[in-house]
Copies of this chain bind each other. A is one copy, B any other.
Amino acid sequence: LELQLKDLPSLVRGAAFFGAGGGGDPYVGQLMLEQALVAGASIRIIDKEALADGAFVVTVACMGAPTVMTEKIPNIISLEKTLRHMEKILNRQVDAIIPLEIGGINSTLPLILAAKTGLPVIDADGMGRAFPEIQMVTFGVYGCGISPVIVGNEGGDIVVVDAANNKQGEDLARSVVTQMGGQAQICCYPMTGAQIKATAVTGTLSLALEVGRAIEQAHGSGLDPFDHLFQHISELDPERAIRVLFDGKVVDIDRQTRGGFNFGSIQLQGIERFTGTLRVQFQNENIVAYRNDKMVAVVPDLIIVMDRETAEPLTSESIKYGQRVKVVGLSVPAMMTTPEALSVFGPKAFGLDHTYQSIAALEF
C-alpha cells in the first residue's frame, strides 16, 4: 500500500477517532504529510507478515502533553536524529518503523519520517488506539523491552534512557520531556520482525483509514454518520462492540496540565432519549465514562467524544462548553484484554478502582 494525498484527511480523521480524546492534534501531522507527498515523497505501508523475522524495527513518536503539542509542534529533524542515534548505539540499520500508537499525531509522525528516510511503515501499532504512557503497549505486555529510549529536542539535546523496566523507562523519559518543555521526540522499543509479528496490534493504520472514509462517506449523503460508521466497523472487525454511550451537551470541562500530562474531565447533560449526565474522565486520553455515576465504559476500551451532527472525533483539549456531542464506546481486540494486558493498561494502571468490563458486557 502506498499512501496517497487523497487518503490523508481520512487517515487523520481515523487517527483522531482512535486517539480517544488524546493523542495530540493530528492536523499538524496532516499538513506535514501533505507537504512531503506534494514534494514527491512516497510512503510505503507494509503488512507485518511481510517483515523478515530478523528485521530491525523501532517505534518513533512525539512524547508530551497534547495541550503543549498544539503550540510546540513535533520536530521531524529531531525525530530522525533519535532514530539515527538508536542505529548508532545498537550498531544496526533500521529496516522499518512501527507506530507506537495509532491514535492522534503519533500515527502520522512515523509516516512523515518514512517520507523523509524512505523506510517502510508497518500497518500495525502497539496500542490499537492512543494511551498516555509509553509502556502501555502490547509490545511490552508481550515481552519486548522499551530501552534504550532516545529522547531528542529541537535544541539538539539527546538523552538515552536505559531503564530497568518499561514503566521506569516511561517515568525517566517523561521527566526529561517535561524538562525539555513538555514535548519532545522519541525513538524506542528496538524489536525484531519476529517480535513485531508476535506482539503488535495488526492492521490499525488501514483501520484508521477506513474509519475516516466511513465518516466522510456519510457527509452530504443523507446517511446517519454514526449508523454508517458502526456498520462499517462491524463489517471490518465483527468481534468489536461499538455503541453510543451518550448524547448530550457539554456543561462542564476541567483541564489541568501537570507532570507531563493533561488531566481532567468533561461533564455532559443528556439530550432526547439520554437523560441525566455523563462524566468522561481523561489522562490525555479518555479513560472512564460514568452515566449517572454508573460506569459505562473503561480502559482499554475506547471512549470517543464526537460531534453530534458530523461524527467528527474531538480531542479533549478542543472540546468547548455548550458543544453538542455523542460519546461512542468501542471495544478492543482480545490481545488487549488479557490479564497481562490489563495489568499494563487496564483500569488499575490508571489508578481507577474498577475491574475491566467490556462495553459489550456493561449494563446500559
Binding site for B on A (CB under 8 A): 155-164, 168, 171-172, 174-176, 178-180
A157 partner residues in chain B, CB cutoff 8 A: 161-164, 168, 172
Report the Cα distance A164→B164, complex, angstroms. Answer: 26
A160 partner residues in chain B, CB cutoff 8 A: 159-160, 162
A158 partner residues in chain B, CB cutoff 8 A: 162
Q: Are B162 and A159 in contact (CB under 8 A)?
A: yes
A168 partner residues in chain B, CB cutoff 8 A: 155, 157
Select which of B155, B162, B164, B175 is within 8 A of A175 by beta carbon.
Answer: B175
Report the Cα distance A158→B168, complex, angstroms. Answer: 11
Q: Are B161 and A159 in contact (CB under 8 A)?
A: yes
Report the Cα distance A172→B177, complex, angstroms. Answer: 9
Q: Are B172 and A164 in contact (CB under 8 A)?
A: no
- Give the dominant DSSP class at A's interface: mixed
Given contacts A157-B164, A159-B159, A160-B160, 17 further A-B contacts (CB under 8 A): A156-B164, A157-B161, A157-B163, A157-B168, A157-B172, A159-B160, A159-B162, A159-B172, A159-B176, A160-B162, A171-B179, A172-B176, A172-B179, A172-B180, A174-B179, A175-B175, A175-B178
Nearest neighbor of A152 in chain B, beta-carbon distance:
B162
Closest 9 CB pairs of A and B: A175-B179, A160-B160, A156-B164, A158-B162, A175-B175, A155-B164, A157-B163, A159-B161, A157-B164
A-B contact pairs, 24 of them (CB 8 A): A155-B164, A155-B168, A156-B164, A157-B161, A157-B162, A157-B163, A157-B164, A157-B168, A157-B172, A158-B162, A159-B160, A159-B172, A159-B176, A160-B160, A160-B162, A171-B179, A172-B176, A172-B179, A172-B180, A174-B179, A175-B175, A175-B176, A175-B178, A175-B179
A164 partner residues in chain B, CB cutoff 8 A: 155-157
A155 partner residues in chain B, CB cutoff 8 A: 164, 168
CB distance from A122 to the nearest CB of B (A): 28
